[in-house]
Amino acid sequence: MHISSWKKPLRENKPLFNRGLSFWGGALSGREPMREKLEQFRSYLFLIPGLFFLMLFTYLPILWSSWLSFNRWNLLSPKPKFAGWENFVELWHHDVFWLVMKNKFFFVTISIFPTMFLALVFAILIDERLKGRVYYIYSLFYPTLIPMAAAAMLWVYIYSPNLGILNILLAELGITKLGWLGSSETSLWALIIMTFWKNLGFFMLIYLAGLQNVDRELYEAAYIDGAGWWRRHIKITFPLVGPTSLFVLVTAIILTFRVFDQIHLMTEGGPGNSSNVVVYYIFENGFKFFDWGRATSLTTILVCILLTLTLIIFGIFGKRITYTAD
């Protein structure tokens, strides 16, 4: 088994996706035999049904909504009317737009790294064959299995200011009771904590799977060489779960950007937009206020941001992380 290191550039490895099926590398060069070309044609044929539905439900709606974002279309002007950049200019001057953007980035940055770090730590601890590890796996993973709607209602009661268990515990510790969902200081934090609880187990499980790919012999060798627990994990585990981390990072960003259900059920963005984030704000504008022009222009902005973010992440990590190849 060959394990590539953190710093090794991708080009030294065998290309991952080029296993004789490449269209450009193969068919265009004209050197491949006829049979192979036919094979390629067939494989593209298999993509058509998938592509058809992607077109219908993803690409066309994206194009359609970007077009709508340049139109005025709301309850008072029920037919879309071209308005140029008006929607975007209005958003630029709208306080709530900047607030929901700020909230979103706060939400993402605050929740992702602790989630990833703790998920990895728990995964390592469970991987070390603790006693009763099955119990730990279950108890960490079960929040992921609870439907979000049920979990949200549960947390509404946990956060109840006078009767909820959280404030009662805080009071036992001598800390002032907090308003949680009813206060604009804490409502966003309340959602972050709840989302953390909900997602932790999922990422822990992915990390646990990633750890199974790490060669045990490496740990043994390091142990013999006298490396301590921390050193072993910092030098071996952390670099080798790189690909898993990339996957977790991207998934976590997508998951937290999409956060919606808990906001809808727990705060509806309140009090005073303090827990409102972009996706919920899009929903509010579209389905609550019926301002489709504004909703679609927000969507366009969000798509651009997510696209840039994904490109940046793959730009940074794609070069530095290598996948184990046989």
Partner 1 sequence: MRKKTIFIILLALIFAFASNASAKTKLRFFYPVGVAGPLVKVINGMVDEFEKENPDIDVQPVYAGNYNQTMQKVQTAVLGGNPPDIAVVEISELFSLLQMDALIPLDQYIEQEGGQKFLDDYYKGFLGNAYGRDGKIYGFPFQRSTPILYWNKDMFRAAGDKLKAAGLDPDRPPKNWDELVAYAKVLTIREGNQTKQYGLIIPGGWNDWIFEAFSRQNRSQLIKEDGLTVTFNSPQNLEALNLWVKLMQDLKVCPVLRPWNITPDDFIGGVTAMMYYSTGGMAKIRKTAQFNWSAAFQPAGKQYGTPVGGGDFHIFKGIPKKNQDAAWKLAKFMTTPEMAAHWSIESGYVAVNKKSYDLKKMKEFLAKFPQMTVARDQLNYAYPKMMAVNYQLIRNAMTTNLDAALEGKKPPEKALADAHKLMEEAIKGK
In angstroms, the CA 225 to CA 186 distance is 49
Residue 287 interacts with partner 1 (CB under 8 A)?
yes
Shortest Å distance, C-beta 184 to partner 1: 6
Tell me the three state secondary structure of residue 273.
coil
Q: Which of residues 173-212 bind partner 1 (CB under 8 A)?
A: 176-177, 179, 181-184
In angstroms, the CA 284 to CA 212 distance is 44
Are 10 and 315 within 8 A, CB to CB?
A: no
Stretch of residues binding partner 1 (CB under 8 A), selected from 122-130, 157-165, 242-250, 300-308: 157-165
Tokens of residue 131, six digits: 């006693």
Shortest Å distance, C-beta 163 to partner 1: 5
Q: Which of residues 64-123 bind partner 1 (CB under 8 A)?
A: 74-78, 90
Judged by CB under 8 A, which of 271, 302, 303, 305 binds partner 1? 271
Are 263 and 277 within 8 A, CB to CB?
A: yes
Stretch of residues binding partner 1 (CB under 8 A), selected from 191-199, 215-223, 283-291, 317-325: 283-291
Are 326 and 270 within 8 A, CB to CB?
A: no
Residues 261, 262, 266, 268: what is their CA dihedral angle, to the nearest 10 degrees?
Answer: -50
Backbone phi and psi for residue 172, each to the nearest 5 degrees, phi listed first: -60, -35
Judged by CB under 8 A, which of 140, 284, 297, 301 binds partner 1? 284
Residues binding partner 1: what is the number (CB under 8 A)? 32
The structure tokens 């088994």 sit at 1
Stretch of residues binding partner 1 (CB under 8 A), selected from 39-47, 61-69, 213-221, 265-273: 265-273
Chain positions contacting partner 1, by CB under 8 A: 74-78, 90, 156-157, 160-163, 171, 176-177, 179, 181-184, 264, 268, 270-273, 284, 287-291
